[in-house]
C-alpha cells in the first residue's frame, strides 16, 4: 500500500476501533455487562481476574484489545511490511481511536449542555405566562 492508502486505512480502522470500544464501554446496551465487570474488577481475588474485568469498563484499555482483533482480521501494517508494521499499527490505531472518542465525548457534553439550557429557558418562559 502506498502512504495515502495507509493513512486512509488507518483513519477508517481507527474509527471502527473507536466505535466498538465506545459502544461496549459507554453505551446503555452494555450497561448491565459493564456493571457486572465493574463489580468483579473490584471484588475478584486475583489481580489477573480484576484486570480482565476492568478492561471492559475502560475505553482506552478495551481499544487495545479491539485493535489486536482488527489487526488479526485485516492484516493491516503501518509503514513497514514486516512485524514492525503490526507493532506501529498496534500503538497508533488505539491512540487515534481514543482521539475520536474524546471528540465524540466533547460533542455529546456540548449537546447535553445546550439541551439543558434550552429546557431551562423553556421552563422560565412557561412560568412567566
pLDDT in tens, 68-80: 999 999 999 999 9
Is the overall model pTM greater than 0.85, yes or no?
Answer: no
Within 8 A by CB and 6+ apart from 99, the residues are 14
DSSP 71-108: HHHH----S-SSHHHHHHHHHHHHHHHHHHHHHHHHHH
Measured CA to CA, the distance from residue 63 to residue 110 in angstroms comes to 24
Q: What span, in angstroms and rounded, lies between the C-alpha atoms of 84 and 102?
A: 28
How far is residue 47's CA from residue 67's CA, in Å, rounded to a whole number?
A: 23
pLDDT of residue 108: 87
**The three grid cell numbers given for residue 105, joined into one nine-digit string:** 465525548
Quick one: DSSP state of residue 27?
S
Residue with more model confidence, 54 or 124: 54
Query: Kindly report the CA angle at 40 between 39 and 46, in degrees rounded to 5?
Result: 145
Q: Tell me the per-residue pLDDT of 91-111, one tens digit each, with 9 for 90 and over.
A: 999 999 999 999 999 998 888
Domain extent listing, the chain:
3-128
3 state DSSP class of 69: helix
54/37 Cα distance (integer angstroms): 6
- Share of the chain residues as helix, strand and coil, in percent rounded to the nearest 5: 90, 0, 10
Amino acid at each position: 500500500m502506498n502512504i495515502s492508502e495507509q493513512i486512509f486505512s488507518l483513519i477508517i480502522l481507527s474509527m471502527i476501533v473507536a466505535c466498538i470500544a465506545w459502544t461496549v464501554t459507554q453505551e446503555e446496551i452494555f450497561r448491565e455487562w459493564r456493571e457486572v465487570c465493574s463489580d468483579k474488577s473490584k471484588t475478584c481475588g486475583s489481580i489477573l481476574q480484576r484486570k480482565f474485568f476492568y478492561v471492559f469498563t475502560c475505553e482506552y484499555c478495551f481499544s487495545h484489545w479491539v485493535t489486536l482483533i482488527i489487526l488479526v482480521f485485516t492484516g493491516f501494517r503501518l509503514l513497514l511490511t514486516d512485524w514492525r508494521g503490526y507493532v506501529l499499527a498496534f500503538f497508533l490505531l488505539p491512540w487515534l481511536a481514543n482521539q475520536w472518542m474524546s471528540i465524540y465525548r466533547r460533542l455529546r457534553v456540548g449537546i447535553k449542555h445546550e439541551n439543558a439550557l434550552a429546557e431551562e429557558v423553556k421552563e422560565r418562559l412557561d412560568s412567566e405566562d
